[in-house]
Amino acid sequence: MTSATFHGPSNSTTSNGIVAQLAGTLIPLKTTLETSKDVKLLNVFITAVPLKKASGTLSLIRQLIPRDGGYDLQHLRRFAKPDLIPSAIRNSYFASSAESSDTELIFLIVAVASIIPKDILLDSLQKDRVEGPVVLVEGQIPFNAPTSAEQAKAWTNEYWPTVYKKSNPFGPHPAIVARAQAEIEGNAGKWLSLAWTVAAEAKTARTGEGVGVVIVERSEQGERCLAVAGDARWDNWPRDCGGNGNVTAHAAMRAIAMVTAKLPNAIPVTETDIFRSQPLFSLETDVEEPVNKDGYLCHELEIYCTHEPCVMCAMAIVHSRFGKIVFEKRMDEGGITADLNDKNDGLGHGLWWRRELNWTMLGWEFRRKGDGNDGNECRLPWDVDNGLNA
Amino acid sequence: MSEDEKQTHLTYMREALAMAELALQTSETPVGCIIQHPTHGTIGRGMNATNRTRNGTMHAEFIAINQILAPPSQYTPDILKECTLYVTVEPCIMCASLLRQFGIKKVFFGASNEKFGGTGGVLDVHLGNGRGIGGKEGDYEVSGGWLREEAIVMLRRFYVQENERAPEPRKKAERVLKLEVEPLGELSGNGVD
């Protein structure tokens, strides 16, 4: 994954001391499958042949086992020079082979071990052999294609020469991520700054925690802000019963309610409700009017969040079919990220992109310029605790 | 669990199913729930309202909690800590988290939800917010499989109707309502004990 740095103007500041456009870097999120430490391995038979016999041997294998028995080995080199394969495989081969050392050899993956008995394979290869017995050694190869050049390099050293082809079986295609990132990085810092401003407003007005969200619609005409919402969990809500406040009034839930309320034929739940979908702060009224007439939920909109949304809000964002999510501060109870935070206290649910769910989006973490690596400094006096459900 | 207790839970689950039936009649996904308090009885009812509101987060659980707490209300939010939810389909991940943050005591559900379920289907939000370890503040008890077949048939009746509000209505004329429900496999668990 690539990440580009952009530097917005940082000379204009709002009354809250928040710069109008934050400078920082967008870091594409990882999926649960990408962060899984388990590499699925396949057992294979490996042999070596004189260089000039290489293509003949491969033809023989293809006759014997058409299409490699259905296994996709495109991410692996079929042939590899002895010095390019892990020494364990090389040593294991030469320990049983009577090959004279002056023959130039090339190693190759013969077959996935589970699809053909070793003795049958040996017999068939032996018929094609001019001198000496065929030696088959067993090795392991990664079943799936690598998701990064670094992973390909690590697998090459550990298992077998592996090629990174800029594909991703475990998440969105890197080309799609790169294109989307180029679209959003010009103004991501601006929308996040707006989110932080409404967060400050929510906190200072004591209506909620210092959490803010902005929803943006992107079209050929450019970007339009459809909703700005601060957290309102304490708005008209008792603080003395020891709870978490009005859970339905988290910033993301409010922003979604604000956008969908403007859709044609939307009917409110009840006359009075707890959902806080009406604007509470001046910034929340300063948004663009109606959404695309054929709008459906929050289909393909972008959501910019000061904090990683909690599990409820993360799933609400999935249900609402957003196209992209950007957030700045990682949270211990956040539902978006798949990899654990630096304190290893994240949930790892990775709800932005999960195979089981019927909707996936693109996602980035915004790392502010000048921050340490963790991006989690409490840089504002009213910022919230990391354990909060944001 | 005694036979009496079992019948009590089934009675409440039928109330939840009645809400799902109401949803079906108004072209909403037929998921219904009730919230039961040990002394005040059924204090909230909800059914899916995502089509009516055009808001994909308006699931039955949100509607029921709103009914209890929307002003003017005789209850304070901490009443939910004493309540049990009966819902026809396993709460989704969003609702499982909502319930956790409001401190619900216990959840009974009908059909499992392998696509979105937050109490066993996909994640275990009721146990340590999905960390897989229980014993955390906010954890709640869950029991599934109650009137499961009825809940599933209700969903199937909905899916043979046309959802004309979806962006591109799909022809469902050829769809046939199937009334038999496969028995629960041993591996999927969640049966009524």
Q: What is the CATH number of the domain that holds A79?
A: 3.30.70
- Say yes or no: A305 and A202 in one domain: yes
Asked if B96 contacts B39 with a C-beta cutoff of 8 angstroms, the reply is no
Please spell the DSSP secondary structure of A36-61, one letter per residue.
--PPPEEEEEEEEEEGGGHHHHHHHH
Q: What is the mean pLDDT of residues B16-28?
A: 96
> What does the pLDDT look like over B44-84, one tens digit per residue?
999 999 999 999 999 999 999 999 999 999 999 999 999 99
Note the pLDDT of residue A237: 96
Confidence at residue A35, expressed as pLDDT on a 0 to 100 scale: 85
For residue A52, tell me if it sits in a domain.
yes
The pLDDT value given to residue A345: 75
CATH of the domain at A232: 3.40.140.10
Q: Is residue A24 part of a domain?
A: yes
Does A358 map to a domain? Answer: yes
One digit per residue, pLDDT tens: chain A, 390 residues? 333 333 333 334 555 556 688 999 999 999 998 887 778 899 999 999 999 889 999 999 999 999 998 898 999 999 999 999 999 999 999 888 876 667 889 999 999 999 999 999 999 898 877 677 899 999 999 998 888 899 999 999 999 999 998 888 889 999 999 999 999 999 999 999 999 999 999 999 999 999 999 999 999 889 999 999 999 999 999 998 879 999 999 999 999 999 999 888 888 887 889 999 999 988 998 887 766 666 778 999 999 999 999 999 999 999 999 999 999 999 999 999 998 866 667 899 999 999 889 999 999 999 998 755 444 444 555 678 989 999
pLDDT band at B117 (very low <50, low <70, confident <90, very high): very high
**Pair (A178, A104) in one structural domain:** no
Q: Residues A343, A210: one domain? A: yes
* Mean pLDDT value of segment B157-185: 68
A303 within 8 A of A214, measured Cβ to Cβ: yes
At A135, list the tokens: 């030696």
- Looking at residue A2, its pLDDT comes to 36
What amino acid is encoded at A4 in this protein?
A: A
A45 and A118 belong to one structural domain: yes
A335–B contact, CB cutoff 8 A:
yes
Q: Which of A238, A266, A347 sits opposite B130 (nearest CB)?
A: A347
Same-domain check for residues A99 and A236: no
Mention every residue, 6+ apart, whose C-beta is less than 8 A from residue A193: A14, A18, A19, A20, A21, A22
Kindly indicate whether the domain formed by B3-160 is annotated with CATH number 3.30.1050.10.
no
Both A188 and A326 in one domain: the answer is yes
Rounded to the nearest 10°, the torsion over CA B84, B117, A350, A226 is -80
Residue A166 lies in a domain: no
pLDDT at B49: 96
Taking contacts as CB-CB distances below 8 angstroms, the residues of chain A near B77 are 237-238, 241, 243, 246
Range A54-79 burial, b when 16+ CB lie within 10 A, else e: beebeebbeeebeebeebebebbbbb
pLDDT at res. A376: 46
A296 belongs to a structural domain = yes
Residue A373 lies in a domain: no
Domain for residue A254, yes or no?
A: yes
Tell me the domain boundaries of chain B: 3-160
Q: Smallest Cα–Cα separation from B23: which of B71, B66, B57, B59? A: B59
Q: Do B176 and B160 form a contact (C-beta atoms < 8 A)? A: yes
Residue B70's SS3 state is coil
User: A192 with A145, same domain?
Assistant: no
B114 is catalytic: no
Confidence bin at B192 (pLDDT 50/70/90): very low
For all residues of chain B together, what is the average pLDDT?
Answer: 90
- Domain range for A298 is 4-31+173-368
Nearest to A292 by CA among A214, A226, A361, A360: A226
Residues 180-239 of A with CB under 8 A from B: 236-238
> CA gyration radius for chain B?
16
Does residue B166 carry a pLDDT above 60? no
Q: Where residue B193 falls among pLDDT bands split at 50, 70, 90?
A: very low
Contact A316 B56 (CB under 8 A): yes
User: What type of residue sits at position A155?
Assistant: W
Measured CA to CA, the distance from residue B52 to residue A233 in angstroms comes to: 25
Consecutive H or E run containing B36: strand B32-37
The verdict on B139 touching A (C-beta cutoff 8 Å) is no
Please give the pLDDT value at position B61.
Answer: 98
Look at residue B188 and tell me whether its pLDDT is greater than 80.
no
Residue that is last in its domain, among A158, A191, A208: A158
Q: Do A267 and B130 touch (CB under 8 A)?
A: no
Kindly report the nearest CA distance between residue B62 and chain A, in angstroms.
8
How many domains does one find in chain A?
A: 2
Question: What's residue A187's pLDDT?
Answer: 96
Contact at CB, A347 and B129, closer than 8 angstroms: yes
pLDDT at B165: 53
Q: Are residues A128 and A186 in the same domain?
A: no
Contact present, B87 and B99 (Cβ < 8 Å):
no
CA distance B75 to chain A (A): 11
Q: Judge if A130 and A225 occupy the same domain.
A: no
Hunting for tokens 């690596």 — which residue is that? A373
Q: What pTM was computed for the model?
A: 0.81
The catalytic residue among B3, B28, B61, B137 is: B61
- On whether both A89 and A65 belong to a single domain, the answer is yes
Q: Nearest CA of chain A to the CA of B130: how many Å?
A: 7
Assess whether A238 and A153 both reside in one domain: no
Residues in chain A: 390
Q: Which residue has the tokens 């109008």?
A: A20
Judge whether A343 is closer than 8 Å to chain B, CB to CB: no
A290 and chain B in contact, CB less than 8 A: no
Would A346 be classed as within a structural domain? Answer: yes
